[in-house]
């Protein structure tokens, strides 16, 4: 795409000795159904090859389809079966892009891996430490998806686009390779066509059954077509006539039940988090204040974070938040600086 291609050009212009790498993350079997799967096609690989050819650098295709299936796609489906709404990009960055791909890059003699993310990975204030800052283009900032990375990974990452706006990069790309300017931006879930995760789940997971939709008092008010197809805060697709709009406020997978309520029922003051990680390796303190994002495209909300004796965290927001969704990442910031984050629990 535009961003990774421009990174390659920038680094080549700076005098770095670089190679191009493309991940093949989807198996041929999945690619047969083009309605479900979109990425990692021969077209994508050919496009990357043409960019590398123009830059006169080697291009390698790394087949990570089986690992991607095990580490990303299977957990993605299993999370929905647990009533969660996962963000596979978080785990992909940790396990695949800055995990397995980085290892492959090292085997090819590379010392760093550079990506087109709009954030800034820089040396920290203390010796041999690294920090993550928001990109200067706040409308495209992608620091959120870096919260699970560790110091070892950050020490090998370069993100030059963090100091540019998306518009700057798009204009620069026209001069370099005009065809890049017409390419679509990445989708939310890179391996699913048209963001249609419901069809993807339906094909991958057997025996998703209809079940009851209850109101907050426990009375049945409708029938859902399978709880994995719903997420907290969802309004469309409930098929319930009511005097006021209804939203999914709770998913109970073990009973195949969805609870629907009014908009006011979506608001909560606290969130419990598990799988905690801090960029520096440890929290600022056992109790600290930060700006917290509860999903990729949400704004930051002031909150107090308390680390529990079990190593989990409790987030108490200054004001109640709508649609705090289990399975999503709650990510902590101190101004421009990414502190860390965790996964929202049921």
Beta strands in the chain (DSSP E): 20-24, 59-63, 113-114, 119-123, 130-134, 157-158, 211-214, 220-224, 247-252, 257-261, 267-278, 287-293, 301-307, 313-322, 329-334, 337-344
Residue 181 has a pLDDT of 52
pLDDT confidence of residue 44: 80
Query: Is the model's pLDDT at 212 over the cut of 60?
Result: yes
Q: How confident is the model at residue 38 (pLDDT cuts 50, 70, 90)?
A: low
Calculate ∠ Cα 45-48-54, nearest 5°. 140
- Residue 288 CA to residue 319 CA, distance in Å, equals 16
- Check pLDDT > 70 for residue 36: no
Report the pLDDT value the prediction gives residue 180, as an integer from 0 to 100.
61
Q: What is the pLDDT of residue 233?
A: 96
The span from the CA of 179 to the CA of 176, in Å, is 9
What is the mean pLDDT of the segment spanning 230-251? 92
CA-to-CA dists, residue 107 to 95, 111, 331, angstroms: 17, 10, 32
Which candidate in 52, 89, 119, 190 is catalytic?
A: 190
Q: pLDDT digits over 64-79, tens only?
A: 999 999 999 999 999 9
What is the C-alpha separation between 141 and 134, in angstroms, rounded?
Answer: 6
pLDDT bucket at 241, cuts 50 / 70 / 90:
confident
Angle made by CA atoms 175, 46, 189, in degrees to the nearest 5:
90
Q: The pTM is what? A: 0.92
Query: What is the structure's pLDDT at 34?
Result: 53
- pLDDT band at 35, cuts 50/70/90? low
pLDDT of residue 119 exceeding 90: yes
Residue in the structure block whose two tokens are 């927001």: 317
Least confident span in 37-41, 202-206, 296-300: 37-41
Residue % of the chain over a pLDDT of 90: 78
- Position 196 scores a pLDDT of 79
Give percent of the chain with pLDDT exceeding 70.
91
Residues 16-34 have a mean pLDDT of 81
pLDDT given for residue 113 in this prediction: 98
Nearest to 116 by CA among 97, 138, 94: 97
- Is 92 a residue of the active site? yes
190 catalytic, yes or no? Answer: yes
**Beta-carbon neighbour count of residue 213 at 10 Å?**
21
**Alpha-carbon distance values, 226 to 80, 160, 208 (Å):** 10, 43, 6
Residue 316 has a pLDDT of: 98
Could you read off the pLDDT of 40-61 as tens digits, one per residue? 566 788 889 999 999 999 999 9
| Domains detected in the chain | 2-195 (3.40.50.620), 207-261 (2.30.30.280), 267-344 (2.40.30.10)
For 146-197, what is each residue's pLDDT tens digit?
999 999 999 999 999 999 999 999 999 888 876 565 555 555 678 887 667 8
What was the pLDDT predicted at 68?
95
Q: Are β-strands 287-293 and 247-252 bridged in parallel, bridged antiparallel, or unpaired?
A: unpaired
The catalytically annotated residue of 52, 77, 89, 92 is: 92
Q: Return the structure tokens found at 148.
A: 């699970």
Q: Which residue has the higher pLDDT, 33 or 230?
A: 230
The token pair at 154 is 């950050």
Per-residue pLDDT, averaged over 120-139, amounts to 95
């Amino acid at each position: 795409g535009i961003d990774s291609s421009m990174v390659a050009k920038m680094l080549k212009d700076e005098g770095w000795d670089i190679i191009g790498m493309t991940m093949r993350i989807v198996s041929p079997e999945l690619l047969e159904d083009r309605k479900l799967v979109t990425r990692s096609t021969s077209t994508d690989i050919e496009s990357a090859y043409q960019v590398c050819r123009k830059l006169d650098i080697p291009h390698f295709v790394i087949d990570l389809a089986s690992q991607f299936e095990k580490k990303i796609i299977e957990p993605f489906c299993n999370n929905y079966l647990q009533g969660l709404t996962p963000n596979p990009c978080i785990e992909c960055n940790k396990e695949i892009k800055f995990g397995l791909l980085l290892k492959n890059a090292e085997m090819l003699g590379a010392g760093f891996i550079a990506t087109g993310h709009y954030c800034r990975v820089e040396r920290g204030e203390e010796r041999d430490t690294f920090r993550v800052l928001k990109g200067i283009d706040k409308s495209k900032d992608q620091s959120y998806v870096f919260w699970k990375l560790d110091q070892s990974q950050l020490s090998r990452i370069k993100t030059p686009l963090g100091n540019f706006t998306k518009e700057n990069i798009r204009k620069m790309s026209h001069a370099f390779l005009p065809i890049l300017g017409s390419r679509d931006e990445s989708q939310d879930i890179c391996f699913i066509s048209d963001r249609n995760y419901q069809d993807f789940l339906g094909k991958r997971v057997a025996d998703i059954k209809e079940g009851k939709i209850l109101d907050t008092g426990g009375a049945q008010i409708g029938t859902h077509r399978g709880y994995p197809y719903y997420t907290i805060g969802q309004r469309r697709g409930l098929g319930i006539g009511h005097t006021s709009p209804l939203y999914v406020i709770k998913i109970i997978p073990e009973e195949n039940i969805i609870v629907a309520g009014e908009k006011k029922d979506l608001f909560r003051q606290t969130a419990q988090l598990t799988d905690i990680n801090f960029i520096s390796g440890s929290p600022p303190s056992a109790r600290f204040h930060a700006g917290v994002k509860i999903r990729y495209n949400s704004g930051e909300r002031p909150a107090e974070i308390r680390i529990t004796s079990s190593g989990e965290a409790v987030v108490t927001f200054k004001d109640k938040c709508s649609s705090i969704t289990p399975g999503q990442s709650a990510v902590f910031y101190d101004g421009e600086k990414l502190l860390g984050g965790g996964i929202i629990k049921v």
